[in-house]
Amino acid sequence: MSSRRPGLLARLLGAHPAATAPAGAATEQDRRMMTRAIELAGQAGAIGEVPVGAVVYETATGRVLGESFNTRERDADPTAHAELVAVRQAARTLGDWRLNGCTVVVTLEPCPMCAGMLVNARAGRVVYGADDPKAGACRSLFAITTDPRLNHRCELVAGVEAEACGRLLREFFRGRRRARRAGNPPDA
Ligand SMILES: [Zn+2]
């Protein structure tokens, strides 16, 4: 973003109440969990799912409470995004729907559905990899997880291993286009 036109920028950002929310820094634990989330994303890609992976861990102890990848195609479920499935698992593990003490790590910026879910789950921290300019709801299109008008705000850490997370997605879609051109559409 250019800093030469602060007036315009400020006006544009004014539409997003949380655009000025400070982004937290990734911990060593976050990075380790992101490595696992990237592994899970790779597993999704290998079965024809859009490669997104997620891990939920207890922030204080590092205990993993849930992990998943995107299973939308396999389960014919529009809500089966990686972080949503992982959060459900984590809540079951904890026996509590409130995840204040948890960190949700996901390779791609959560969409509006998942960002809303994270607020409803009272997720303490959200750590994601690649920005999603087309559907991202943490800071790209919306800033749902840090919107001060909502009753809960998550600490947000963006851009962890963003390059590796984004590369998985780019390669997946490139492969899909190539298959389509070759007249060999994937089952997806
Ligand atoms: Zn989502």
Ligand 1 geometric centre to CA of 18 (Å):
19
Ligand 1 geometric centre to CA of 120 (Å):
14
For 21-154, list the strands marked E by DSSP.
53-58, 64-69, 102-108, 125-130
* Local confidence pLDDT in tens for the 188 residues of the chain: 444 444 554 444 444 444 444 568 999 999 999 999 999 999 999 999 999 999 999 999 999 999 999 999 999 999 999 999 999 999 999 999 999 999 999 999 999 999 999 999 999 999 999 999 999 999 999 999 999 999 999 999 999 999 999 999 999 999 999 999 998 765 54
Q: What separation in angstroms does the CA of 4 have from each of 1, 7, 10, 118?
A: 9, 9, 11, 35
Ligand 1 geometric centre to CA of 58 (Å):
21
The two most distant CA atoms of the chain are separated, in Å, by 51
Inter-residue contact 63 to 55 (CB < 8 Å):
no
Ligand 1 geometric centre to CA of 130 (Å):
13
Of 129, 143, 36, 40, the C-alpha closest to 82 is 40
Indicate the SS3 state at residue 130: strand
Ligand 1 geometric centre to CA of 160 (Å):
18
Write the single-letter amino acid at 169. Answer: L
133-151 in b/e form (b: 16+ CB < 10 A) is: eebbbbbebbbbbbbeebe
Ligand 1 geometric centre to CA of 133 (Å):
13
Residue pLDDT, tens place only, 41-54 = 999 999 999 999 99
For the annotated catalytic residues, the residue numbers are 83
